[in-house]
């Protein structure tokens, strides 16, 4: 079975631009979570969606938004990019909310 897939793998943007990151969960998983991981730190929780509804939100500004589609795939959108948004963005899926998280390989976002 395919694991969690994320696209794109790498992305370079400039300050002020907008970015959309995509995630396809493992088949049968209804929950998708997004995390930001800065080099040398643990993943920071951004959002969790379950059955297309937002079920959890971390301490990130309103520039960050996400949604989940009927097929359970998800998008993370970040507006007005800042240099500090440079990070590895990880998507994880699970059967339900409080279940083992299966991570994708991430999208490496670099802001110039």
Partner 1 sequence: QQPVQSPQAVILREGEDAVINCSSSKALYSVHWYRQKHGEAPVFLMILLKGGEQKGHDKISASFNEKKQQSSLYLTASQLSYSGTYFCGTDEGIGDYKLSFGAGTTVTVRA
Choice between 84 and 100, CB closer to partner 1: 100
Q: Are 43 and 35 in contact (CB under 8 A)?
A: yes
Q: How far is the CB of 77 from partner 1 (least distance, A)?
A: 20
Q: Are 66 and 9 in contact (CB under 8 A)?
A: no
Eight-class DSSP state of 52: T
Choice between 45 and 64, CB closer to partner 1: 45
Q: Are 20 and 8 in contact (CB under 8 A)?
A: no
Note the residues at the interface with partner 1 (CB under 8 A).
33, 35, 41-45, 48, 50, 55-58, 90, 97-106
Q: How far is the CB of 82 from partner 1 (least distance, A)?
A: 22
């Amino acid at each position: 079975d395919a694991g969690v897939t994320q696209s794109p793998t790498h992305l370079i943007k400039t300050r002020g631009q907008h970015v959309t990151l995509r995630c396809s969960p493992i088949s049968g998983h209804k929950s998708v979570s997004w995390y930001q991981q800065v080099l040398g730190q643990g993943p920071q929780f951004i959002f969790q969606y379950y059955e297309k509804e937002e079920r959890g939100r971390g301490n990130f500004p309103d520039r960050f938004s996400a949604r989940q589609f009927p097929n359970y795939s998800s998008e993370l959108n970040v507006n007005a990019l800042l240099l500090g948004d440079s990070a590895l963005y990880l998507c994880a899926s699970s059967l339900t909310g409080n279940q083992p998280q299966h991570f994708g390989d991430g999208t490496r976002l670099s802001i110039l």
